[in-house]
């Protein structure tokens, strides 16, 4: 397709799309005036019924806990797919003694960058852990905390120690985290089936609203998701970085 | 609509255009990271801190890291092919 042909096509389709969009938006409620009842009901029902103060987490792990189960396994499946696609092929080998990577000459890390990374690691761990365990109380939860937790070890890469990152988070451990987290969420659901005769039903004591251990199974769900997301993200990143830094073409 | 929300919407429109109009993939990745921060600000001003928290890591660390690794791999392969051609 030539540039002129594409521009001509856009000149025809663009105004059409604009007209349809404008017609569609004409009937929308005004800004900030949502007519649905769902949000209002969730806000009213969840705090007294489940003792959770963050309604988004309550939606994820209680009202729509089954959707979250699906999302868990979408993440699990896609990360498995990445690991499968980026596996070491027969005509490739791992250059573990790649001097560029070992000495970190590939990014020219300065001392200032190394010190900053060192400070970032504990901060990311602390923030990530906080966000995971306070999911039912304040904004955040398993997914959000999990990605922060996963970003912590990546600071080691910034500091120029990719092999140290690989030693701290070996592939088998990340695979285990990913699987254990996904499995734990499904098992917590099974607990609901056993103790409350409904899959994913809240079956633990609800506790005092606003306390760390409140809202029944929600903190456990949050922890399971947090573990899975940490493993999943780190596994994806290290698979990509392995390919970029140490996997070479040609059999050894 | 508050002034902050308006600023966030305008910045999002400008940022998205900036990402698309950046020609070099390496620079585009960095612009994309900054655009992620703009989106985080947008979600925060629209009272979605849960989404903002995910966005800040996914779009400023997660996605750029994967793209940068892929870019490096492609460059190394190109270099390898050039060397094969010379031999």
Q: How do residues A122-163 score in pLDDT, each as one tens digit?
A: 898 999 899 888 888 888 888 888 888 888 888 888 777 777
The mean pLDDT value for A71-90 works out to 87
Q: How do residues A24-43 score in pLDDT, each as one tens digit?
A: 888 888 877 777 888 888 88
Percent of residues, chain A, with pLDDT higher than 70: 92
Three-class secondary structure of residue A8 per DSSP? helix
Rounded Cα–Cα distance for residues B9 and B39 (Å): 9
What per-residue confidence (pLDDT) applies to A78?
92
Q: How do residues A57-71 score in pLDDT, each as one tens digit?
A: 888 888 888 898 888
Comparing CB atoms, the residue among B53, B58, B66 nearest residue A240 is: B66
What per-residue confidence (pLDDT) applies to B13?
93
Provide the β-strand partners of residue A249.
Answer: A92
Which band of pLDDT confidence, cut at 50, 70 and 90, is reported for residue B83?
Answer: confident
Contacts of A140 in chain B (CB under 8 A): 49-50, 53
Q: How do residues A198-219 score in pLDDT, each as one tens digit?
A: 887 887 777 777 777 777 888 8
Comparing CB atoms, the residue among B57, B65, B66 nearest residue A148 is: B57
Provide the β-strand partners of residue A93.
Answer: A248
| Mean confidence (pLDDT) of chain B | 87
Q: Which residues 128-187 on chain A approach chain B with CB closer than 8 angstroms?
A: 131, 139-141, 143-144, 147-148, 150-151, 154
Which residue range forms the structural domain that includes residue B10?
3-86
* Interface pTM, i.e. ipTM: 0.83
Asked if the model's pLDDT at residue A174 lies above 60, the reply is yes
The mean pLDDT value for A90-99 works out to 67
| Mean confidence (pLDDT) of chain A | 82
For residue A177, the distance in angstroms to the closest alpha carbon of chain B comes to 18
The mean pLDDT value for A1-13 works out to 88
Tell which wins on pLDDT, A15 or A52.
Answer: A15
B72: contact with A, CB 8 A cutoff: yes
Residues in Cβ contact with B62 at an 8 Å cutoff, skipping those fewer than 6 apart: A147, A151, A233, A237
Asked if the model's pLDDT at residue B85 lies above 70, the reply is no
| Gyration radius from chain A CA atoms | 24
Which band of pLDDT confidence, cut at 50, 70 and 90, is reported for residue A250?
Answer: low
Tell which wins on pLDDT, A219 or A17.
Answer: A17
End-to-end CA distance of chain B: 65
Helices (H) and strands (E) in chain B, counts: 4, 0
What per-residue confidence (pLDDT) applies to A251?
56
- H or E segment to which residue A249 belongs: strand A247-249
For residue B26, the distance in angstroms to the closest alpha carbon of chain A comes to 14
The mean pLDDT value for A214-239 works out to 88
Asked if the model's pLDDT at residue B81 lies above 90, the reply is no
Asked if the model's pLDDT at residue B74 lies above 90, the reply is no
Residues in Cβ contact with A82 at an 8 Å cutoff, skipping those fewer than 6 apart: A235, A236, A239, A240
What per-residue confidence (pLDDT) applies to B86?
58
Which band of pLDDT confidence, cut at 50, 70 and 90, is reported for residue A87?
Answer: confident
Q: How many CB atoms are located within 10 Å of the residue A6 CB?
A: 10
What per-residue confidence (pLDDT) applies to B59?
87
Report whether A217 contacts A68 (CB < 8 A): no
Rounded Cα–Cα distance for residues A159 and A168 (Å): 14
End-to-end CA distance of chain A: 44
Measured in degrees and rounded to the nearest 5, phi and psi for residue A202 equal: -70, 120
Number of domains in chain B: 1
Nearest alpha-carbon partner for A147 in B78, B65, B42: B65
The mean pLDDT value for A181-199 works out to 84
Asked if the model's pLDDT at residue A107 lies above 60, the reply is no
């Amino acid at each position: 397709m030539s540039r002129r042909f594409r521009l001509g096509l856009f000149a025809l389709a663009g105004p059409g799309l604009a007209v349809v969009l404008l017609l569609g938006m004409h009937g929308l409620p005004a800004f900030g005036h949502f007519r649905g009842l769902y949000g209002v009901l969730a806000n009213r029902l969840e705090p007294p019924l489940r003792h959770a103060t963050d309604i988004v987490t309550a939606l994820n792990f209680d009202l729509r806990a089954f959707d979250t189960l699906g999302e868990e396994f979408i993440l699990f499946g896609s990360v498995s797919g990445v690991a499968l696609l980026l596996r070491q092929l027969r005509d490739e080998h791992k250059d573990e003694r790649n001097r560029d990577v070992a000495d970190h000459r590939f990014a020219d890390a300065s001392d200032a960058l190394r010190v900053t990374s060192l400070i970032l690691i504990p901060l990311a761990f602390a923030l990530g852990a906080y966000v995971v365990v306070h999911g039912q109380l304040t904004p955040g939860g398993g997914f959000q905390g999990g990605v922060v937790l996963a970003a912590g070890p990546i600071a080691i890469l910034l500091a120029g120690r990719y092999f140290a990152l690989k030693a701290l988070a070996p592939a088998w451990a990340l695979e285990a985290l990913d699987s254990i987290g996904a499995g734990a969420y499904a098992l917590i659901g099974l607990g609901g089936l056993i103790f409350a005769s409904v899959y994913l039903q809240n079956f633990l004591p609800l506790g005092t609203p606003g306390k760390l251990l409140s809202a029944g199974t929600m903190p456990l769900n949050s922890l399971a998701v947090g573990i899975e997301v940490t493993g999943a993200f780190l596994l994806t990143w290290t698979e990509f970085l392995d390919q970029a830094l140490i996997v070479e073409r040609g059999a050894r | 609509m508050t002034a902050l929300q308006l600023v966030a919407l305008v910045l999002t429109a400008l940022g998205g255009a900036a990402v698309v109009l950046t020609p070099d993939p390496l620079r585009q990745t960095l612009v994309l990271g900054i655009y992620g921060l703009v989106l985080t600000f947008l979600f925060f001003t629209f009272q979605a801190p849960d989404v903002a928290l995910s966005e800040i890591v996914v779009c400023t660390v997660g996605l750029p890291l994967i793209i940068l690794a892929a870019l490096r791999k492609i460059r190394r392969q190109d270099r390898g092919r050039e060397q094969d051609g010379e031999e």
